[in-house]
Amino acid sequence: MNIKISLVLLFTLSICNAQNSDITSTLYETYEKYKEPKLAKRRIKHAQIKPLIENYRQNDLFTVAKVGESIEGRDLSLISTGSGETSIFLWSQMHGDEPTATQAIFDIFNFLASDDFKNEKKEILENCTLHFLPMLNPDGAEVFQRRNRLGIDINRDALRLQSPEGKTLKRVRDSLDADFGFNLHDQSTYYNAERTDKPATISYLAPAYNYEKDINEVRANAMKVIAFMNDIIQKYAPGQVGKYNDDFEPRAFGDNIQKWGTSAILIESGGYSQDVEKQEIRKLNYVSILSAIYTIAKGTYKDISLEKYESIPENDRKLFDLKVANASYELLGKTYKIDVGANRLEVDKEKHKDFWYSSRILDVGDLSTYYGYDTLDATGYTIMAGKVYPMTVNDFAALTSLDPLSLLKSGYTYVRVRNIPKDKLSSPMPFHVVSEKFELPDFNIEVGVNPTFILEKNGKISYAVVNGFLIDLSKDKISDVKNAMIYR
């Protein structure tokens, strides 16, 4: 009899998993149909989402309510849909420079408003009531910074509630008494899944609600949903999931929301190779969050074991944008073997709608336990200083007459320009622009300097590194270099 019951349970679980897998695959394949085109880049502003929210106010499927204001007076809106007993609350962009899930939320709205997936949406909306607060920190988003206008981290304001944004989040959570809460963030792109070279594209946490890290039914439910979402992400970004340390933080909203009785699910969007604007990660948010809502609506998450959550590897932070390994480097007449780790750091342009890179060497030495999005084994190569091109060009327009590939193959990484416009922040070419009077400092590979050098082997220059971008000089053309530097 027990064997029969076990077989029935196993068969039921298989059917449920297959159903969830089917909707996940279809969501992934049809995503472009629902992607919100007006939110195409990360640096989104409140003014961009406001008209989208107003459009949904006119749709009978949704209820839109103003639930608060930011310090600078921007509306905080709650968009709700569904009539089911299970209440699910999703909030995003508590940190102003973490917008990936905000974009995904508007993709989800488009999905819900469509005529597709009728059976699945019926199941979701009859069993759940969904509530979205898509931009909790619009003042921070305006200048693309983590903190709010007061300069505080809203995610450390759950106890004092000194910010209007934090007060709004607490009031909404309490009024909804939500069963599930999705706390949606971005994390550094330099996190990796522990002891692997894979970026932590998505990281999760079911926060602890006390110092003892006890697991009650509320927290266990969050763990089960996370385990389900991990299986989804593994399908599209295998090995690229991490899990945060669950040490209790008494000031944090996630930890307190767990304590207040809502199953809190922290989702952090990290890095993905060749996805600077995080659009593939946005897609993974869309697919995994909708699939999670579907499994909550069906109740199938309840049968997932907690061991699956515990098996997710921990987050680590051992990724560089570029790692050059085993290179020879000459210093004071001696030759040393070193690794170089460099990151391309974003500098916002005026109005915070775009950025340029000002890269830095982050570490030098034995980096054998670290990884890179781009990695070069430079065994047999010698790091050499780049040179200044002997001719001075008149202006930026004249730069286009130069052949960057030929320059770099000859070891030239700097070009002098007589007239550098004051409004130019960076070089549009894959070499640095310097003024007529600029004196290059002595060449050193050390922490804090811009990663620019050439790599030579047997008298031939095979690679150049310019502003942290690795350029393979055996290729026919140079691509994927956003900018170099200007030195006046």
Tens digit of pLDDT at every position of the chain (488 positions):
444 433 333 333 343 444 566 799 999 999 999 999 999 999 999 999 999 999 999 999 999 999 999 999 999 999 999 999 999 999 999 999 999 999 999 999 999 999 999 999 999 999 999 999 999 999 999 999 999 999 999 999 999 999 999 999 999 999 999 999 999 999 999 999 999 999 999 999 999 999 999 999 999 999 999 999 999 999 999 999 999 999 999 999 999 999 999 999 999 999 999 999 999 999 999 999 999 999 999 999 999 999 999 999 999 999 999 999 999 999 999 999 999 999 999 999 999 999 999 999 999 999 999 999 999 999 999 999 999 999 999 999 999 999 999 999 999 999 999 999 999 999 999 999 999 999 999 999 999 999 999 999 999 999 999 999 999 999 999 988 999 999 99
Q: Are 404 and 431 in contact (CB under 8 A)?
A: yes
pLDDT of residue 22: 76
pLDDT of residue 247: 97
Q: How far is CA 33 from CA 30, 57, 100, 132, 477, in A?
A: 6, 21, 18, 21, 34
Of 268, 298, 316, the domain-final residue:
316
Q: Are residues 293 and 366 in the same domain?
A: no
Q: Are residues 29 and 93 in the same domain?
A: yes
Q: Are residues 297 and 339 in the same domain?
A: no
Total of domains in the chain: 2
d(CA 24, CA 284): 10
Q: Are residues 353 and 307 in the same domain?
A: no
Three-state secondary structure string covering the chain: CHHHHHHHHHHHHHHHHHHHHHHHHHHHHCHHHCCCCCCCCCCCCHHHHHHHHHHHHCCCCCEEEEEEECCCCCEEEEEEEECCCEEEEEEECCCCCCCHHHHHHHHHHHHHHCCCCHHHHHHHHHHEEEEEECCCCHHHHHCCCCCCCCCCCHHHCCCCCCCHHHHHHHHHHHHHCCCEEEEEEECCCCCEECCCCCECCEEEECCCCCCCCCCCHHHHHHHHHHHHHHHHHHHHCCCCEEECCCCCCCCCHHHHHHHCCCEEEEEEECCCCCCCCCHHHHHHHHHHHHHHHHHHHHCHHHHCCHHHHHCCCEEECCEEEEEEEEEEEEECCEEEEEEEEEECCEEECHHHCCEEECCEEEEEECCCCCEEEEEEECCCCEEECCEEEEEEECCHHHHCCCCHHHHHHCCEEEEEECCCCCCCCCECCCCEEECCCCCCCCCCCCCCCCCCEEEEECCEEEEEEECCEEEECCCCCCCCCCCECEEC
pLDDT of residue 13: 39
Q: Are 328 and 252 in contact (CB under 8 A)?
A: no
Domain that holds residue 398: 319-487
Of 300, 316, 332, the domain-final residue:
316
Q: Are residues 142 and 275 in the same domain?
A: yes
Q: Are residues 219 and 327 in the same domain?
A: no
Residue 384: name the closest of 327, 424, 422, 345 by CA.
Answer: 327
Q: Are residues 286 and 334 in the same domain?
A: no
Q: Are residues 94 and 170 in the same domain?
A: yes
Q: Are 196 and 105 in contact (CB under 8 A)?
A: no
CATH number at residue 146: 3.40.630.10
Torsion angle, alpha carbons of 132, 280, 185, 59, to 10: -10
Q: Are residues 149 and 85 in the same domain?
A: yes
Burial of 180 (0-12, 13-18, 19+ CB in 10 A): buried
CB within 8 A of 127, min separation 6: which ones?
Answer: 84, 85, 86, 297, 298
Which two tokens mark 438?
Answer: 């600029």
CATH number at residue 344: 2.30.40.10
How many beta carbons lie within 10 A of that of residue 425, not counting itself?
Answer: 15
CB within 8 A of 81, min separation 6: which ones?
Answer: 61, 62, 63, 112, 125, 129, 130
Q: Are residues 341 and 302 in the same domain?
A: no
Q: Are 361 and 340 in contact (CB under 8 A)?
A: yes
Q: Are residues 279 and 358 in the same domain?
A: no
Q: Are 81 and 130 in contact (CB under 8 A)?
A: yes
* pTM listed for this prediction: 0.93
Q: Are residues 272 and 287 in the same domain?
A: yes
How many beta carbons lie within 10 A of that of residue 410, not counting itself?
Answer: 11
Of 289, 316, 343, the domain-final residue:
316
pLDDT of residue 9: 37
